């Protein structure tokens, strides 16, 4: 197994999408963001996009089988990739197990899970800040933003234990400047 597969983990607004851009350039990895894939489906007005739009605008998770199917298609399409950065995926235990199974079938696996740790009020500030400029509907409403953070705490944060049991969890301080956080991620990958 000589591929590098990174799970970039953290609550909404932790900087996963932001940091992925640096990591994909530095390590030549393919970036797979379930949030971006879902927003592309919404943009294309597909049936899947219509279903996802309702859930996303309410701050809820999209069903596991939908996101697992999207990720599986992308992973299978890129057999020669040096590896992947999984950004915003997995978000539930069922997704994590499905990811392990699909990578195992390809003779590969997760190398490391990097968990960005950020204080809750900072998350709310960052997301509402982006909502004011980017037009992402799920970033505009404070109630929806807090609902997403609640979903993370209830369904997604427990995955740290799943990866910890495999010896793959690395906690990264996600407070501070974007450059400093990139340095911490690089140190965790190369250290």
Binding interface with ligand B4P (CB under 6 A)? 12-18, 34-35, 38, 55-56, 59-62, 67, 88-89, 91, 95, 126-127, 129-130, 138, 148, 177-178, 181
Closer CB to ligand B4P, 138 or 185, in the complex: 138
Q: Report the nearest approach of ligand B4P to the CB of residue 2 (Å).
A: 26
Closer CB to ligand B4P, 18 or 111, in the complex: 18
Q: Which residue is nearest to ligand B4P (CB)?
A: 35
Q: Report the nearest approach of ligand B4P to the CB of residue 172 (Å).
A: 11
User: What does the chain look like in DSSP terms, one character per residue?
Assistant: -----EEEE-STTSSHHHHHHHHHHHHTPEEEEHHHHHHHHHHTT-HHHHHHHHHHHTTPPPPHHHHHHHHHHHHHH-TT-S-EEEES---SHHHHHHHHHHHHHTT----EEEEEE--HHHHHHHHHHHHHHH--GGGT-HHHHHHHHHHIIIIITTHHHHHHHTT-EEEEE--S-HHHHHHHHHHHHH-
Q: Report the nearest approach of ligand B4P to the CB of residue 112 (Å).
A: 18
């Amino acid at each position: 197994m000589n591929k590098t597969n990174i799970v970039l983990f953290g609550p909404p607004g932790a900087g996963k999408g932001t940091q992925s851009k640096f990591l994909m350039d530095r390590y030549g990895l393919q970036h797979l963001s379930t949030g971006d894939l879902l927003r592309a489906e919404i943009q294309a007005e597909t049936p899947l996009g219509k279903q996802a739009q309702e859930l996303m605008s309410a701050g809820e998770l999209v069903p596991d089988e939908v996101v697992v199917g999207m990720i599986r298609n992308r992973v299978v399409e890129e057999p020669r990739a040096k590896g992947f950065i999984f950004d915003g995926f997995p978000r539930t235990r069922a997704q994590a197990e499905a990811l392990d199974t699909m990578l195992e079938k390809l003779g590969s696996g997760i190398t490391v899970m990097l968990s960005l740790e950020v204080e809750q009020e900072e998350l709310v500030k960052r997301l509402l800040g982006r909502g004011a400029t980017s037009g992402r509907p799920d970033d505009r409403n404070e109630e929806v933003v807090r609902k997403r953070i609640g979903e993370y705490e209830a369904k997604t944060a427990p995955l740290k234990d799943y990866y910890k049991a495999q010896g793959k969890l690395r906690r990264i301080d996600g407070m501070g400047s974007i450059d400093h956080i990139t340095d911490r991620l690089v140190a965790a990958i190369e250290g």
